[in-house]
Structure 1
Amino acid sequence: MADTPTGGPMSRSEKRHESHLGRSYAAFIKHLAEVGKLEAGVVECAAVSVINALLHRIQPEEAKDLEAQLPRKLLEFLPKEDGQKPARKYGRTRDDFLRVVAEDLRKDVSEVETIVRAVFLGLREHISEGEAQDVESNLPPDLQDLWRRTQ
């Protein structure tokens, strides 16, 4: 029998909730793989890397709004901030964004634009249109272009 974080056994409703979270996350990842034509071994790491970089590029309040529309299980995989500045610089340009994702995925920068576009496409289809517009308005022009190319 599964245990709760406090060590006690899970109730039926807690088990259903955990199962729902897992299905929601799995559906999101499957959708990313399909729309982005990403390999199974890349899609989860790509989702975490791209979404994490995106969350660092937009205003904190907007990042919270975006997080609220993501599968909760995905949020568990994102690096936790401890109140300090991120160890890496996320920069302000598209090239900086692609460099960060390339470093995370251990790929050449020339290989990651298609991955970023695939994740952006799946993400845009997952979130509300209003949220997609809010994210876009928070990005510098060269990243707005990359975000729009997913439409």
Structure 2
Amino acid sequence: MSRSEKRHQSHLGRTYAAFIKHLSEVGKLDAGVVECAAVSVVNALLHRIQPEEAKDLEAQLPRKLLEFLPKEGPDKPARQYGRTRDDFLKVVAEDLRKDVSEVEPIVRAVFLGLREHISEGEAHDVESNLPPDLQDLWRRTQ
């Protein structure tokens, strides 16, 4: 690996670490939960918005976070994400192996960290792509 590639990889790692640290601080999430929560919530969110908007959101997220997102393929069937707030919370609860009653504060914490990480325009675009009950959850992070 060249020195330039090493610097680039180091930068990606620092950007991701800063993002995770920020999520942990604003959401008051335990270190053991924050990374898994970020991956789960971002993945579910990307599946709830229009594909073009998902690409726009991905462009503002740390690349290293995107590397952790599950990949769908011919050997792995597509997951059913549903459209409601309850469906969203169930998916996150399954991923984190928690009861669904425990995950709303975690989702709000990740949403807050995301909103502070992305541009105001992108936050508005994400909100406008969500169904009303998820828009409410997204707004409650303000």
TM range (shorter): over 0.9
Please give the alpha-carbon distance, in whole angstroms, between the structure 2 residues aligned to 1:61 and 1:79: 19
1:36 counterpart residue number: 27
C-alpha contact (below 8 Å) 2:72/2:78 kept by paired residues: no
State whether structure 2 residue 51 is matched by structure 1 residue 52: no
Q: Secondary structure at the match of 1:99?
A: helix
Deviation at 1:81, TM superposition (A): 2.7
Residue of structure 1 in register with 2:113 after alignment: 122
Question: What do residues 90-144 of structure 1 show as CA deviations (whole Å, max 9, x unaligned)?
Answer: 1110000000000000000000000000000000000000000000000000000
Q: Distance in 2 between matches of 1:148 and 1:85?
A: 33
Q: 1:84 to 1:44 in 2, by over 3 A?
A: same
Determine the C-alpha separation between the residues in 1 that align with 2:66 and 2:93: 20
Match of 1:97 in 2: 88
Q: CA deviation at 1:145?
A: 0.2
Q: Secondary structure at the match of 1:89?
A: coil
- Report the CA distance shift for 1:148/1:86 in structure 2 as closer, same or farther (over 3 A): farther
Q: Is the partner of 1:35 in helix, strand or coil?
A: helix
TM-score (norm 2): 0.97
Aligned residue for 1:91, secondary structure, equals coil
Question: Aligned-pair distance for 1:84?
Answer: 9.2
**Secondary structure in 2 aligned to 1:98?**
helix
29-38 or 84-93: bigger deviation: 84-93
Q: Aligned to 2:102, which of 97, 111, 116?
A: 111
Quote the offset at 1:77 in angstroms.
Answer: 0.1
Shift of 1:42: 0.1
* Displacement of 1:80: 1.3
Q: Distance in 2 between matches of 1:86 and 1:138?
A: 24
CA 1:15–1:66: 2 relative to 1, 3 Å: same
Shift of 1:88: 2.4
Matched, 1:133 2:107: no
TM-score, structure 1 as length reference: 0.91
The whole-number CA distance in structure 2 between the counterparts of 1:48 and 1:82 is: 18
**1:87: Cα distance to partner?**
3.1
Instruction: State which structure, 1 or 2, has the greater radius of gyration over its C-alpha atoms.
Output: 1
In 1, Cα distance between the equivalents of 2:81 and 2:95? Answer: 12
Q: Cα distance, 1:86 vs. partner?
A: 5.5
Paired-residue identity, %: 92
Report what 1:4 is aligned to.
Answer: none
